[in-house]
Amino acid sequence: MTSFWNDLPQPFFILAPMEAVTDVVFRHVDKLKQAGAPDIFFTEFANATGWVHAGDKAIAGRLIKTDDEHPLVAQIWGGEPGDMEAILSLHCAELGFDGIDINMGCPAKSAIKSGGAALIRRPDIAVAAIAAAKTAGLPVSVKTRLGYTYC
């Protein structure tokens, strides 16, 4: 599998995934800048379990993309590898994302109940989530942190 990561300029600039910020409109406004525009864009994080149980309405447009956004990486979080596999292989790959990023770094209490930084303390689930992400056939990255603390 050829990965877009191999084709990036060195050093490369990433627009970090930010909840309630990096939606499709924000990414397009940021892309309009000629100098300093990111080489990679990330979506807001989308909850895998919410999507499995309630569909697109559960992720409130967080995975909306347009054809001119490349490379665009879908950031997903959750604590159920089966749900991660479902959203990644059945949704993200079909939508044409260039990569998948698993959020294992968010310390917010709402995220650590079943994912985010809580996966630092659950390496078995973290390994299973990465394996599930790989089933989509897209490059996989992980957002993490150095330690585990509450926000």
Is 106 a residue of the active site? Answer: yes
3-state DSSP of 40-96? EEEEEEEEHHHHHHHHHHHHCCCCCCCCCCCCEEEEEECCCHHHHHHHHHHHHHHHC
Residue 140 is which amino acid?
A: V
The one catalytic residue in 15, 102, 106, 125 is 106
Q: Which of 95, 93, 92 is nearest to 45 (CA)?
A: 92
Strands 99-103 vs 14-15: parallel, antiparallel or unpaired: unpaired
| Catalytic (active-site) positions | 106
